[in-house]
Structure 1
Amino acid sequence: MLLKFAFQDFLDDRKFKNTTGKNIRNYQTMLGEFVNYCIQHEIVSVEDITFNHVRKHLMECQERGNIAGSINTKLMRIRAFLNYMVECEVIKKNPAQQVKMQKEDVKIDVFTDEQISQMLSFYRRIKQRDKSYVAYRDYAIIFTILGIGIRRSEIINLKWSDIDFVNQTIAVFGKSRRRDILPITDKLVKELSAYQIYCKQHWGEISEFVFVKRDNTQMTENALMLVFKYLRQKMNFKDVRVSAHTFRHTFCHRLAMSGMSAFAIQKLMRHQNITVTMRYVAMWGNELREQNTKYNPLNSIDI
C-alpha cells in the first residue's frame, strides 16, 4: 500500500474514532515527519518500512536536538500507525516495536513559593495600574492552574456553567473526555467570583467561556501560549520554564509535599494510571524525607 495513502487512511480512522483535534494535529506533524523521511529515501510503500528506517529517522531527530521525551512521543506515533497497518493486514508485523524507548530525564522543575509570589505580584501591579482585562484574565488563569492543576485544553474550554460557586466545585473534561468534578478552595472561589464581576463590568454581557481573548471570543491554544511566553519574558527565571505545565507540576508537587496519599493525588491530577502519579511521588521522595527529618515530631521529644 502506498505510504501517502496509508497515512491519510490512518488519519481518517483516527477522526472516525473521535480522536481529539489536538492529537490529530500531533499525528499530522510527528507522523507526517516520518512519512516525509521515508518518501525522501524512496520508501514509497508501507511494506518496505523496516526497523532501520524507523531508527535512523529518530536518530536524525536526535541529532537535530530532539530530547528523549520528544523522541519517545514520535516513536509512539509511528508505532500506532504501523499497528493500524497490521490490523488492516497490510503488513504482518510492526517493525517499530523493535525500536526501544529512550530513557528520559525524570527531573521535573517546579516553581518556588518566591517565584509564585513574584508572578502574582506582577499581575496585581498591572491590575491596579492599568485596569486591563488581560491582566485580570492572566492572573486568574495562573491562580486557577495553581488551585486545581487544570490542563491547557481545560483552561481554554472552561465555561462559567462549569463552576459551582455554592458547592465550590469545577467540572472539567479531561484527556479521556470524561467529566470530572473537582473541589476548589475558598481562595479560588473568591478569586473567580471577583474575576466574574470584573468581566461583567468590562464586557457588559460575558461570554460563556471563562477566559476569552481581547475581542471576547474563546481563547485558542496559541493565545494561551502567548500568555506564558509574555510572562516568561517578564520574569526571566533562569532555573525553571514558565509554562502552563510547570504550574500543573507545581500543583502536584505541593500535594506530594503535603503528605497527601498517591490515590488522592491521582484523583485530583486525573491521571488515568496511578503509575504516573507514583512516578511523581517517587521523584519528590527525597524532599519528603528531608522535610520529615527536619520537622518530625520526635525531634522535640527528649528520649
Structure 2
Amino acid sequence: MPTATATRELLTSAAITLHHPLDYYFVLFLRAKKNESLRTRTLNDHENHYRYLQRWLVEKYPTLKLEELTADHVRQYVGHMLTEQTLYTGHPTLQSHNTAKGLSPATVNIRTRTLKCFLRFLHDEGHLQTDLAARIKLQKVPEDRLGAFQKEHVLLLLAAPNQREYLGFRDYVLLTLLFDTGLRINEALNLTADDLSVAKGTITVRASVAKNRTERIVPVSKRTADLLAALVQENCQQFVHKTIHNKPSFVFLLNNGKPLTYNQAYERIRLHGEKAGITGVRVSPHTFRHTFAKMYIQNGGDLFTLQKILGHHDISMVRKYVQMEQRDLQEQHAQSSPLVGV
C-alpha cells in the first residue's frame, strides 16, 4: 500500500485533488491511459467522470477502500445518476440554472462506460479481485433517430454567410465541405493546405486527426476543392506576415490567423442556422454528417463506400446515419413503386 506522501505526490502530478482513498488508483489508471496515447478529449472524459464519482463517494462513503468496493456500491452510484444528480452538478456557472434531478439514460451510459473501463483496469492489474465491470449493466436506451437537414435547409444554410467578408467566406467554405464530405468537425478544422489535392479532387484525413487513428482519403467535388483552394489563397494573402515560413498551416482560421476551434465553429454554425430560420432539427456540426450520409444513399451511393468515406469500422453506426424520415420514405416510394407509370 502506498504511503500518504507518495500518494499525495502522485495525485499532485496528475492534477487530481486528494478527497477519497480510491483517488490513488484512479491516478494509476489515468497514467496507463495516457501511455496508450488516448486523445486529450477521451482522457478529459475519464477524469471528469471520475470526479463525479469522487464527489458522490466523499459524501456517501468517505472512507471506503478499494478492497471494500462492491458491485452494489457501483449500482448505488448509477441509481444516483438516474434519479438524484443534476445535469450541471459542479459546473461553475450553469449549476444554478438547472435544478431537475436525474440524468438521461444515454448520459448515464456514457459515464458508466468510463467507470467500467476504470474497474476493468483495476481487476486486470490485480488491484481488485472481483471483475465488477462485468457485473454492471448499461441502461436500455430507445434508439433515437439521428436528425438530418432537408434539402431546403441546406440551401438556406449555404445562403446565410456573408461571403463578401472573410469570416463569412470561411464559414461558407466550411459548410460546403461538411455537406460535401460528411467530415467530423474536428477533421475539417484540422485540415491543412497540404491535405488538399485539387487535381485529384481529394482531401487526406491524417491518422493523427482521424477519430479511429486510421488515415483515409475522402473525395470532394470540384466545387468544394476550388473553394478550399481559394480559401487557402485568401489565408496566404491575409495572414502571410503572421505565419511560419510564410504559409498558414490550417485552412480554417480566425481573423487573427489562429486556428478556428471546435467551440467557435459550433457557435458560428448555430448562428447561421438561427439567421436562416431553421427549426425542427438541431443545427450542429454533426447534423451535417448525418445529412451527407442520408443524401449520399438517397442519391444512389452504396453503404460500404459510405462507410469508407465516413471512416467507420462498424457498419452498424453507418446504418444509423442513414435512417429515413417518413417524408423520405414517401418520396422514395412515389418514385420506386411498381405502380409508377402503370
With the length of structure 1 as denominator, give the TM-score of the two structures: 0.88
Letter in 1 for 2:222: D
Q: 1:280 to 1:152 in 2, by over 3 A?
A: closer
1:265 matched residue in structure 2: 306
* 1:33 corresponds to 2:52: yes
* 1:87 corresponds to 2:124: yes
1:76 matched residue in structure 2: 113
2:78 matched residue in structure 1: 58
2:12 matched residue in structure 1: none
Kept in 2: contact 1:30–1:77 (CA 8 A):
yes
Q: 1:188 aligns with which of 215, 224, 229?
A: 224
Deviation of 1:287 after TM superposition, in Å, equals 6.2
Kept in 1: contact 2:78–2:108 (CA 8 A):
yes
Matched residues in 2 for 1:199 and 1:186: separation?
A: 20
Q: 1:170 aligns with which of 203, 219, 233?
A: 203
Q: 1:50 to 1:238 in 2, by over 3 A?
A: farther
Letter in 1 for 2:157: M
Structure 1 unaligned segments of length 5 or more: list them: none
**In terms of Rg, which structure is larger?**
2
With the length of structure 2 as denominator, give the TM-score of the two structures: 0.79
1:148-167 equivalence runs, <5 A: 148-167=181-200
1:96-245 equivalence runs, <5 A: 96-102=133-139, 103-123=141-161, 126-128=162-164, 131=165, 133-173=166-206, 174-204=210-240, 205-235=246-276, 237-245=278-286
Report the 3-state secondary structure (helix = DSSP H, G, I; strand = E; otherwise coil) of the residue aligned with 1:175: coil
Report the 3-state secondary structure (helix = DSSP H, G, I; strand = E; otherwise coil) of the residue aligned with 1:127: coil
Letter in 2 for 1:69: A
Letter in 2 for 1:139: Y
Kept in 2: contact 1:257–1:284 (CA 8 A):
no
> Structure 1 residues 154-163 or 257-266, which shifts more?
257-266
Kept in 1: contact 2:53–2:77 (CA 8 A):
yes
Matched residues in 1 for 2:273 and 2:132: separation?
A: 41
Describe the superposition over 1:73-94 as per-residue Cα deviations: whole angstroms up to 9, x where unpaired.
Answer: 1111011110100111111233
Q: 1:279 aligns with which of 292, 299, 320?
A: 320
Matched residues in 2 for 1:48 and 1:238: separation?
A: 51
Q: Is the helix fraction higher in 1 or 2?
A: 1
Describe the superposition over 1:117-165 as per-residue Cα deviations: whole angstroms up to 9, x where unpaired.
Answer: 1111111xx223xx2x221111111111111111122122111100111
| 4+ long deviations beyond 4 Å | 285-289
Matched residues in 2 for 1:280 and 1:71: separation?
A: 22
Matched residues in 2 for 1:111 and 1:95: separation?
A: 42
Matched residues in 2 for 1:46 and 1:213: separation?
A: 48
